[in-house]
Structure 1
């Protein structure tokens, strides 16, 4: 599969690049960012996949979070896909929380979305295969994200615990079946059968999980979406009832923005680096 490099910038001794390629899964051209730490010039390194939130592209995280500094220190590559398929022929909606920029990291089953909106398969299968075939990385993977991307990270890790060493999230939509953002997106993409929604609902998944990777969640107490859309207490209660112990930290004064992400991204990269460099049992 041919990669076109769009950006190449020195950053903390490594390289921050952006690439474009034709995605068979999404049936469109798509872009993703790759940060390679300095040590990648000598050896293959593990990968932390980052999933961004509503309205974002791959640019928001790489420009605002400041994660490259910590990835360089820990010897971890960062891979950041777009949040949805793009292109003139890709269906869209007239609002920010559905359509382009709002793929919700699922495989849509309803028209007109089902042809292109298959971000779950793209993130889990096509993108890692592409990255591992073209860059100096290992198959040790972790996944993290913010808001809608936090939802995606938790769902992907809980559904594939053998493929991800760890997972973390900032202000994730943990129970999309119970909040307006999720109900709107799931109805459009998946239809009215709420049983089908459970495969993309982290609170439902953790309740029935038989294996989970280490989970870290940070949430701002001043987040304007905390009570209406995010509801982290639902995930924590379901996880603990099932016998799991996710780390959930609440932070006074912090909102939903990238100022919050930037404040704690070092903690998250360290969380993943510990798991990624640990001996696999």
Structure 2
């Protein structure tokens, strides 16, 4: 396994934000990720919550803007924040738009050869946990997953497809039905090609059809003043899919809130508590 290097450390709520880099075998480039270690990690193992960020983000956005560390410190939970795509490959067109390529990995394993290094699904579900296995203070047997926007889509699909790895799932403003919105259609066709059957593996609403796996606790918060609500996010599609699958989910519409980290920071404590409850069982 490639060496993991600590490249940053800041104290916060008596714990530490730690930033690391390593060479990724999945993505064939150097990747960076953040870990917030709560004070409890100094004396024993702590459970973890993975947080997947949205379009244009890096591993830093959640750590610097959400203030999730306050509740994570109180409840003794580590926060894991990976980057959103491979970087540095210089693929033609990778930086032409904000919603595809660099900063927009969409948490899929690309099958179109040009984008062969865009394997964020594999990175999040396999390689990153393997890397974190060397962190003695983390109890990876107690893991939950959450995310925002594109990362909310990632949390939903990864959680549903790997229910045995996680205790709970939550999302802020997720792209609920990527096969039915412009962001999703661009990403799925670009990374996976024309085979729409393969797209269904990365669409929460499709995954819920005939779902027979463990029904993990699921919490979604969506702001009613979100500029992307109608065209891109479509929480009503997720609600309908959960109802049809008899999958218990709490989907909350939060009046007047937008798509930003102001929204996330307002409700992040609820999400950390939600996951803490599941992780304690």
**Quick one: distance in 2 between partners of 1:137 and 1:233?**
36
1:212: Cα distance to partner? Answer: 2.3
| Residues 219 and 249, structure 2, Cα contact 8 Å, conserved in 1 | yes
Quote the RMSD (CA, aligned, Å): 0.9
1:208: Cα distance to partner? Answer: 2.3
1:111: Cα distance to partner? Answer: 2.1
**Quick one: distance in 2 between partners of 1:90 and 1:66?**
35
**Quick one: distance in 2 between partners of 1:207 and 1:249?**
22
The partner residue of 1:194 within 190, 193, 196 is: 196
Match of 1:270 in 2: 273
How far does the alpha carbon of each residue in 1:149-181 deviate from its partner, in whole angstroms, 9 at most, with x for none?
Answer: 000000000000111100000000010000000
Long gaps (5+) in structure 2: none
Alignment size in residue pairs: 277
**What SS does structure 1 have at the residue aligned with 2:20?**
strand
Cα distance 1:98–1:272, how it changes in 2: closer, same or farther (>3 A)?
A: same
Match of 1:245 in 2: 248
**What SS does structure 1 have at the residue aligned with 2:114?**
coil
| Residues 215 and 248, structure 2, Cα contact 8 Å, conserved in 1 | no
Match of 2:7 in 1: 6
How far does the alpha carbon of each residue in 1:224-255 deviate from its partner, in whole angstroms, 9 at most, with x for none?
Answer: 00000000010111111111121000011100
**Quick one: distance in 1 between partners of 2:67 and 2:208?**
30
**Quick one: distance in 1 between partners of 2:224 and 2:64?**
24
Establish whether residue 100 from structure 1 lines up as the match of residue 102 from structure 2: yes
TM-score by length of 2: 0.97
| Residues 84 and 106, structure 2, Cα contact 8 Å, conserved in 1 | yes
TM-score by length of 1: 0.97
1:90: Cα distance to partner? Answer: 4.8
1:134: Cα distance to partner? Answer: 2.3
**Quick one: distance in 1 between partners of 2:235 and 2:139?**
32
| Structure 1 outlier segments of 4+, above 3 Å | 88-91
Match of 1:76 in 2: 77
Q: How does 1:1-281 map to 2 (within 5 A)?
A: 1-90=2-91, 92-114=94-116, 116-139=117-140, 140-210=142-212, 211-278=214-281
**Quick one: distance in 2 between partners of 1:250 and 1:36?**
31
